[in-house]
Amino acid sequence: MQSAGSIVIEPSSAALMSLGETVQLTASVLDGNGQAVEGAVVEWSSSDEAVVTVSSEGLVTAVANGSTTVTARSGSVSASAVVNVVDTRREREVLNALYQSTDGPNWVFNTNWLSDKPLNEWYGVSTDSLGRVTSLQLYTLDGNKPNSSSGRYTSNGLSGSIPPELGQLESLVELFLPANELSGSIPPELGNLSKLWSMHLGLNQLSGSIPPELDSLLRLKQLYLFRNQLTGSIPGEIGQLQNLFLLALNGNQLTGAIPQEIGQLQNLSHLDLGANQFTGSIPAELGQLNNLAELNLNYNQLTGDIPAEIGQLQNLRRLDLFDNELTGSIPPDLGQLQNLRYLSFTRNQLSGSIPAEIGQLMNLRGLHLDNNRLTGNIPPEIGQLMNLTLLILSTNKLTGNIPPELRQLANLEELYLYNNQLTGNIPPEIGQLTNLTGLFLGDNSLTGSIPQEIGQLQNLDQLYLSGNQLTGCIPTELRDVPNNDLADLGLSYCVPAFVADSLALVALYRTTDGPGWMDNTNWLTARPIGEWNGVATNAEGRVVSLSLPGNELSGSIPPEIGQFKNLESLSLFRNKLTGRIPAEIGQLQNLTSLSLSYNQLAGRIPVEIGQLRKLVGLNMYGNSLTGQIPAEIGQLMNLVELQLSSNKLSGSIPPEIGQLQNLRRLDVHANDLSGSIPAEIGQLQNLGVLSFAGSSLTGHIPAEIGQLTNLFRLDLSSNKLSGSIPHEIGELMNLAELHLSGNTLTGSIPSELGKLQSLRILSLFENELTGTIPPELGELTKLTVLVLSDNSLTGSIPLVLGQLQNLEQLILGGNQLTGSIPSELGRLTKLTELYLGQNQLTGCIPSGLQDVASNDLADLGLPFCDQAETDTAERLALEAIYHATGGPGWTNNTNWLTDRPLGEWFGVSTNEENRVDRLNLRSNQLTGMIPPEITQLQNLTSLSMWDNSLSGSIPSEIGQLQNLRWLSLNDNQFTGNIPIELGQLQSLERLILYNNQLTGGIPPELGQLQNLGVLSLGGNQLTGSIPSELGQLHNLAGLYLSGNQLTGSIPPELGQLQNLTGLHLSGNRLTGCIPLELREVPNNDFADLGLPFCDLNGTDEVSPLVGGTWKYSGNNFITPIEGNIQSLIESEDIDPFAAQLLTLSFELVLHVLSSCPVSYEADGTFMQDCTSLEDGAIVEGNWSVSGDRLMQSAGGTTTTLRYSVTGDTLDLIYTRQQLLSPDDGGADPDTQRLYDLVLSGIEEFRITFIRI
């Protein structure tokens, strides 16, 4: 009997449209040749007999709605057919019930309802491919069908109650019945809609309570019940709706407490419970809603404190607790809400002070704290809220001054501070709020005059100042403010400002001996004051500059100096002024430059200096000023230059100086200061010069100075500083001068100073430093002055100091240095000063130091060196190299075979013991072979003979040079194998043999070179595979094997080389795939290999985009899931709309991107370029190509899709045409649904696939 090879079922699929309906399936059993097998026995089975049954003859009978598989089996072979059962009679009955219950005949649109048309042709009904109802959308937009126009939700005329039969639509995913006249209660049967993900019943007249049965809607993402007449409490069961991201219950009559179970809704982004009658406290559990963007609890009767846990809601953008009965203080934890844009606590009973942490809410636009019982000062930190447009703090019990920091609120439009207990002056800085339209300061206890600067507010149309104790006059510019209470102030308008300026100039002339000035041209004449010597005025005749330097002024500065309201520059330096600096100078609010240096001024620096907020330069050096440096100087946020040196200032340096973020020069040297250097100095990121020299400072040098990355001069000399030199100073890459001498610093000199590549002066003398001189100082190639004298340094003078070719002064005397003077110092041709005395040096003085102009060499008691012979064996080895490589024909053979010291032979370097340690004969026309005598150079650390014509094999004796760190024999004509003995060079860091004629395999012994950083063997004739042992070279940064004849696959062990930054393998015969871990190597030639990357199992990729496993994420409305793209689309865990977007994405990947050219970049990532597709072309999925993007039009809406493929990431960015906020009107229904899914206002939807 023939054996069965396959089975064919006819038909291969079937659809049964009513229960009890049957279909006959037949099975043909075929052998391996496709011929029928006679007498074959077939067994039938159903995978789900609750849906269909099948007889032994293949007759299928429908039992219930659903989909199943019927299988025919013969022996070991089988085949299956898919059978779908769709009985829509019950669904029609449900819709008939809805029609009858809601006055269907009077609906605005009821097309095809109660007809025998397919259900998806009934108005507002959508079905799936099996005819099951998936969506009900019975509303209109401005009275029109949603698919024909745009507009707001309006009624479709549904009235009456929602029938309980609606709960029988088991495939329903969307229920949209908003803006109708539905009444009655919400049927609990709706809890049976297990697939529902969006319910919109808002804007109706529904009453009764919220059914607890809704807790069964585990897929529900949106629940809109707002603006109905619902009563009762929110059922605690609502906490079971784990997929819910929008809950809108506002505008009802709900009562009771807010259930703490809401805190379990981890995906919730919008929670609106406003305009109800909730009581009790706000549950602390709301702080667990990590995705919450909007929290609205306004217009309720909530009591108790605001939970500090709300400060954990890092995504919160709107917090509205307006009009409740909340008590207690505002939690400082709210300062953590970095994304908050709107905050309203208006009309509660909050007390305590406004927390300074509010100033951390950098995205805040509206702050409403009015009508509470808040006390204390207005925190100056509010001035940090640069995006704030509305600030309302009125009707509280706030005290203290109005903080001048409010001037920083450049976008502020309205400022409400009325009905508090504020005191002090109105800060003139308010005049900087150029966008201000409303200023409400009435009913406080403010004093002083109205600042002239307020008259500069061109947009001001509301000004209320009454109910204070203001004096002086009203600036004339305020006459034109449309809405004001100026008539209630009892004040007159000010006289012309230029008159006040003239009187102030007269006062200055009289108090500073004007007749004795060197130049007083036109002063006290009838000429315009702008023509008086040193005076400059603006177009309005106001004094803007007063410059009288070196003009023999004597006497004191008069207090009238404060009358120059428009003064920008005041320069009185190099005169004979005496007395104190008047406090009135703090009234010069427009001053940017103040120079009083080189006078005889005494007394304290007035604290009012801190009011000059526009000040850029402050120079008071060379006087006799006393007292402390005012902490108020820390308020001068625009200050660039601060010079207070050569005075008699005392006390400590105020830490507030650390607030001067724009400061570039800080010089307070030569004073009588005390205390330590404040760590806050490290905050001055723009500082270029810092000098505290000669100021009696104590304590340690703060490590924070290492944060001053723009510093080029640091002078802390002649103080009483102790402790070690912070190694963080080595981070100051722009530092040119470092002066730390004349202190009591201890410890060693940090080796990190060797990183200061810009350093020119290093002065550390007269300290108590110990340890050795770090050899890293030899890397300071720009150094001209090195002074380390009078410390307790030990050890030898580092040879590397001989590399400092720009060094002019080298002063190391007064230490405990030992050993010989390095001969390398004799090469410092620019050296003019050399002091090495008072050490314990031995040996001889290098002859090259004889010509240093200023030195103490005669005091050392040492002879000058003779030309001692180096080791005979080394000389013989070098002679052998000379003869074996055509020495007479070299380009340069200076001093070779002479009696000169070996270190003077061309290309030969010797160490301090006169042993040969480097041999550099590159590009010197060497020929012949390297002789085996090279093994005699046992101190050799570097052998460089590249770019010559050397031939023969590389001598295996090189493997005996155990100190060798660098071997460069590239660009020669070497043949034969690479000696395996090279694997013995444990110190080797670079092995460079490229561009020779080497053959054979790469020795696996090279895998023993643990210090190797570069291995370059390209451009030879090497064969065999790449040894896996190279994966053991964990310090390897560069591996270059291109241009050989290597075969086999790339060893996966190379993926273990974490430090690899360069990898070139092209020009070989490699096969297989590139290990996935190598994709991150930035410098590579993968694009030239023609090989794919391996997948996670080490096999070839199917395609850079389609293969592998991906992780999907979107706009926070779908929980990220993992799998291949097709499985994501078919997943039951994804809602229909997201599935549509993913389907579009899948079409794009399969039909567009996967067919576009792939190029691999140098860093290992791949790019796919579809821009070569011709504009206007239609690709699969009806996408039209336009430049670097694709467009698809359907249903009157255009979707634009921009794509970006980089490395393992595919970004798809969808933009819908005419995408409008629901509140703005004009949104088409599909777009409206998009907004129901995500935060209002987002105009783009990004889908990201990441390969995992």
Residues 265 and 389 both lie in one domain:
yes
Residue 147 near residue 137, CB atoms below 8 Å: no
CA-to-CA distance for 900 and 931, rounded, in angstroms? 23
Name residue 436's beta-bridge partners.
none
Task: Tell me the mean pLDDT in the region 239-244.
Answer: 93
Per-residue pLDDT band at 619 (split at 50, 70, 90):
very high
Same domain, 1037 and 952: yes
Q: Are residues 890 and 799 in the same domain?
A: no
pLDDT in tens, 1159-1218: 444 443 334 444 444 444 444 444 444 444 555 554 444 555 555 545 445 555 555 443
Q: pLDDT tens digits, residue range 771-797?
A: 999 989 999 999 999 999 999 999 888
Task: Report whether the peptide linkage leading into residue 655 is cis, meaning its omega lies within 30 degrees of zero.
Answer: no
Number of structural domains the chain divides into: 5
Residue 788 in tokens: 């380390």
pLDDT > 60? residue 35: yes
Residue 413 pLDDT exceeds 90: yes
Residue 1204 lies in a domain: yes
Residue 826 binned pLDDT confidence (cut-offs 50, 70, 90): confident
* Claim to verify: residue 431 and residue 411 sit in the same structural domain: yes
The residue from 387, 404, 438 where one domain ends is: 438
Reply yes or no on whether the pLDDT at 169 is more than 50.
Answer: yes
Tokens at 37, concatenated = 């097998």
1073 vs 1059: CA distance, rounded Å = 21
Give Cα 629 to chain centroid, integer Å.
37
- With respect to residue 814, please indicate whether it lies within any of the assigned structural domains: yes
Q: Could you tell me if residue 324 is left (phi over 0), alpha (psi between -120 and 50 degrees) or otherwise beta?
A: beta
Q: How confident is the model at residue 835 (pLDDT cuts 50, 70, 90)?
A: very high
Predicted local distance difference test score (pLDDT) of residue 1132: 52
Whichever domain contains 60, its CATH number is: 2.60.40.1080
Distance CA 763, CA 738 (A): 6
Predicted confidence at residue 864, as pLDDT, reads 81
Residues 144 and 210 in one domain: yes
User: Is 70 exceeded by the pLDDT of residue 1250?
Assistant: no
> Hey, which of 803-812, 1149-1158, 1238-1247 has the most confident mean pLDDT?
803-812
Cα Rg, the chain, nearest whole Å: 43
Position 20 confidence tier, pLDDT thresholds 50, 70, 90: confident
The pLDDT, as a whole number, for residue 1203 is: 52
Q: In the listed set 389, 406, 438, which residue is the last one of a domain according to the structure?
A: 438
Claim to verify: residue 55 and residue 202 sit in the same structural domain: no
Could you tell me which of 821, 819, 805 has the C-alpha nearest to residue 856? 821
Predicted local confidence at residue 1217, as pLDDT: 40
pLDDT band per the 50, 70, 90 thresholds, residue 503: confident
**Statement to judge: residues 153 and 251 lie in one domain:** yes
Q: Give me the mean pLDDT over the 1085-1093 stretch.
A: 85
pLDDT at 930 over 60: yes
CB 1 within 8 Å of CB 39: yes
Pair (1116, 1229) in one structural domain:
yes
387: left (phi over 0), alpha (psi -120 to 50) or beta: alpha
What pLDDT is attached to residue 545? 95
In percent, the amount of the chain with pLDDT more than 90 equals: 67
Sign of the dihedral defined by the CA atoms of residues 127, 129, 132, 134, in that order: negative
666 contacts 644 by C-beta, under 8 angstroms: no
- Give the C-alpha separation, 813 to 836, whole Å: 4
In which domain, by residue range, is 790 found? 757-866
Does a structural domain hold residue 1151? yes
Is pLDDT at 1151 greater than 60 in this prediction?
no
pLDDT, tens only, 733-771:
999 999 999 999 999 999 999 999 999 999 999 999 999
* pLDDT (0 to 100) of residue 1090: 83
pLDDT tens figures, 556-611: 999 999 989 899 999 999 999 999 999 999 999 999 999 999 999 999 999 999 99
For residue 102, the model assigns a pLDDT of: 96
**Cβ pair 297, 277 in contact under 8 A:** no
DSSP three-state, residue 1076? helix
Residues 834-850 have a mean pLDDT of: 88
State the pLDDT at residue 1215. 52
- Token pair 């307020």 in the structure block, residue: 454
Longest dimension (CA), the chain: 137
Question: Do 1223 and 1242 form a contact (C-beta atoms < 8 A)?
Answer: no
Tens digit of pLDDT for each residue in 181-204? Answer: 999 999 999 999 999 999 999 999
Q: What is the mean pLDDT of residues 691-716?
A: 95
Give the residue-averaged pLDDT of 149-162.
85
Is 564 a member of any domain?
no
Helix axes 1229-1237, 1136-1151, angle to 10 degrees: 100
The β-bridge partners of 1083 are 1062
List the single range of 10-14, 88-92, 687-691, 1033-1037 with lowest mean pLDDT: 88-92
* Angstrom distance (rounded) from CA 422 to CA 440: 12
Question: What residues form DSSP beta bridges with 1070?
Answer: 1048
Q: Provide the CA 398 distance to its chain's centre, in angstroms.
A: 38
Letter for the amino acid at 1039? L
Distance CA 772, CA 785 (A): 18
Q: Which amino acid type is present at position 1102?
A: V
Q: Is residue 562 part of a domain?
A: no
Angle at 342 between CA 339 and CA 344, to 5 degrees: 135
Decide if 589 is inside a domain. Answer: no
915 pLDDT band (50/70/90 cuts)?
A: confident
Domain closes at, from 1056, 1088, 1120: 1088
Give me the CATH number covering residue 835. Answer: 3.80.10.10
Q: Is the pLDDT of residue 321 over 80?
A: yes
- When mean pLDDT is compared across 700-704, 1006-1010, 1087-1091, the lowest value belongs to 1087-1091
Residues in the chain: 1252
> Do the domain assignments include residue 721?
no
What is the pLDDT averaged over residues 342-368?
96
> How do strand 125-127 and strand 77-85 relate by DSSP bridges?
unpaired
pLDDT at site 664 = 95
Residue 464 covered by a domain: no
Is the pLDDT score of 351 beyond 80? yes
Tell me: do 1025 and 1075 sit in the same domain.
yes
- Please, what is the average pLDDT of the chain? 86
Which of 958-962, 1093-1097, 1234-1238 has the highest average model confidence (pLDDT)?
A: 958-962
Tell me what pLDDT residue 1252 has.
Answer: 42
pLDDT at 212: 93
pLDDT, position 1247: 53
Is residue 812 located within the same domain as residue 770? yes
Note whether 816 and 839 are within 8 A (CB).
yes
Q: 554 exposed, middle or buried (CB, 10 Å; 0-12, 13-18, 19+)?
A: middle
What gap in Å lies between CA 188 and CA 135, rounded to an integer? 19
pLDDT at 632: 93
Q: Please check whether residue 1196 is in contact with residue 1185, taking contact to mean a CB–CB distance below 8 angstroms.
A: no
Number of Cα atoms under 13 Å in the Cβ half of residue 37: 21
Q: Are residues 1117 and 1062 in the same domain?
A: no
pLDDT value of residue 498: 66
Q: Are 1023 and 905 part of one and the same domain?
A: yes
The token pair at 565 is 């309201």
Residue 19 binned pLDDT confidence (cut-offs 50, 70, 90): confident
Residue 851: its pLDDT value, please? 86
Give pLDDT tens digits for 440-460. Answer: 999 999 998 999 899 889 999
What is the pLDDT at residue 862?
87
